[in-house]
Amino acid sequence: ATPTALLVGTGRGAQLGILIKGPQVLESTRRVDTVLLDKTGTVTTGTMSLVSVHAADGVAEDDVLRLAGALEHAAEHPIARAIAAAATERFGDLPSVDEFRATEGLGVAGIVAGKAVVVGRDALLAEWGVRPAGDDTALAEARRAAEERGRTTVPVAWDGVVHGLLVVADTVKPEAARAVADLRALGLRPVLLTGDNAAAARAVAAEVGIDEVIAEVLPKDKVDTVARLQREGRAVAMVGDGVNDAAALAQADLGLAMGTGTDVAIEAGDLTLVRGDLGAAVDAIRLARRTLRTIK
Ligand code: ADP
Ligand code: MG
């Protein structure tokens, strides 16, 4: 190989806002045929906002938001920030929390105002022995309607029962649909990979033109999804930003980390998209292909 062409490739990368860990990375880019895109923070901005608060019969909406907000105040997920910000704005000071525990990709739990509160996915609620929701039809209906519109729904439980539901919304990045179309034009297969619910994932996928969705994936299973596709003979690029994406980024043939994401993700990736711009993922793949053509 001609090292000069590789160096030109990496230098051009820096100009495009792409940091490449080493020239060997360009080589693995050539074989890539499938691009897994994390949803939150990668395809979407990851800046979430609270859309609505729903309470079960006989429960005050304020209690749902106050208890959930107090817990989420101690967490770092974009969902947590949205809920904590809304609660702080409405109530000012929030109750203090004991025995706080965050579970990556699932949610949070702790003692707030003497109550054992759990906020997060059904799987987390089940872990804490919370009875599944669904007996409250108004809550179930609010949830179904919100998820159909691409929103993330967060059940709120205390004393072993689901007492409310928070709905949060994220926005698709302005360049996402174009980037997906460009990936397709390069002959690549885009797949949306997310821990979020299937309906919300499908709605976001439809908005950006992705037709393959792998949803409700636990953080520890993201890496297995990459490995499974690889066993099926696919060469996989993974684009992600979160702590929960790090293992998958490392496992992928090509890991592209959002520069706007967490340090762990950036460390695990082969490439960093400095501005967190999905279009740069397309540029990176194009650049690698061009650079390698120059070498051959
Ligand atoms: P993604 O794969 O789209 O980046 P994550 O793996 O970070 O999403 O989160 C998956 C799901 O876990 C979220 O959609 C949400 O339902 C739940 N979740 C994660 N963190 C929290 C939290 N702090 N509070 C409530 N729910 C959470
Ligand atoms: Mg993410």
Look up 38 and say whether it is catalytic. yes
The ranges of the chain annotated as CATH 3.40.50.1000 are 3-45+172-295
Average pLDDT over residues 257-271: 90
Token digits of residue 35: 């691009």
Query: Does domain 49-169 sit in CATH 3.50.50.60?
Result: no
Torsion of CA 286, 287, 289, 292, to 10 degrees: 170
Whether 269 is in the pocket of ligand 1, judged by its Cβ within 6 Å, is no
What DSSP line would sit under 21-90, residue for residue? S-THHHHHHHH--EEEEEIIIIIB----EEEEEEE-TT--HHHHHHHHHHHHTT--SHHHHHHHHHHHHH
Task: Specify the residue with its C-alpha closest to ligand 1, atom 8.
Answer: 195
CA atoms of 215 and 123, how far apart (whole Å):
14
Query: From edge to edge, which strands make up the β-sheet containing 34-38?
Result: 18-20, 271-273, 254-258, 236-240, 34-38, 189-193, 213-214
**Helix axis angle, 24-31 relative to 3-15, nearest 10°?**
80
Atom of ligand 1 nearest to the CA of 72: 23
The CATH code of the domain at 3-45+172-295 is 3.40.50.1000
- Cα 41 to averaged position of ligand 2 atoms, centre (Å): 5
By most ligand atoms within 8 Å of CB, the mutation choice from 38, 72, 79 for ligand 1 is 79
- What is the rounded radius of gyration, in angstroms, for the C-alpha atoms of the chain? 21
Contact 69, 83 (CB under 8 A): yes
Task: Specify the residue with its C-alpha closest to ligand 1, atom 14.
Answer: 196
Token digits of residue 110: 């702790």
Residue 184 has pLDDT above 70, yes or no: yes
Whether 108 is in the pocket of ligand 1, judged by its Cβ within 6 Å, is yes
- Cα 8 to averaged position of ligand 2 atoms, centre (Å): 31
* Residue at 263: amino acid letter: D
Whether 119 is in the pocket of ligand 1, judged by its Cβ within 6 Å, is yes
CA atoms of 232 and 217, how far apart (whole Å):
19
Q: ipTM score of the complex? A: 0.95
What DSSP line would sit under 184-220, residue for residue? HHTT-EEEEE-SS-HHHHHHHHHHHT---EE-S--HH
CA atoms of 229 and 246, how far apart (whole Å):
17
By most ligand atoms within 8 Å of CB, the mutation choice from 154, 173, 216, 239 for ligand 1 is 154
Residues 33, 38, 93, 253: which is the catalytic one?
38
- Cα 138 to averaged position of ligand 1 atoms, centre (Å): 23
Going by C-alpha positions, the residue among 95, 73, 66, 97 that lies closest to residue 163 is: 66
Tell me which DSSP letter residue 171 carries. -
pLDDT classification of 178: cutoffs 50, 70, 90: very high
Whether 107 is in the pocket of ligand 1, judged by its Cβ within 6 Å, is yes
Going by C-alpha positions, the residue among 101, 160, 108 that lies closest to residue 132 is: 160
Going by C-alpha positions, the residue among 22, 243, 56 that lies closest to residue 139 is: 56
Residue 83 has pLDDT above 70, yes or no: yes
The ranges of the chain annotated as CATH 3.40.1110.10 are 49-169
Instruction: For 120-151, write each residue's pLDDT tens digit.
Output: 999 999 999 998 765 668 899 999 999 998 89
Task: Specify the residue with its C-alpha closest to ligand 1, atom 21.
Answer: 107
Mean pLDDT over each residue of the chain, to the nearest integer: 90
pLDDT classification of 152: cutoffs 50, 70, 90: very high
Q: What was the pLDDT predicted at 295?
A: 54
> Of 29 and 192, which is predicted with more confidence?
192
Task: Output the CA angle 153-34-204, nearest 5 degrees.
Answer: 25
In 90-151, at which residue ranges do the beta strands (DSSP E only) sit? 97-103, 107-112, 115-120
- Cα 19 to averaged position of ligand 2 atoms, centre (Å): 20
Instruction: For 281-291, write each residue's pLDDT tens digit.
Output: 999 888 877 77
Query: Helix, strand, or coil here: 183?
Result: helix
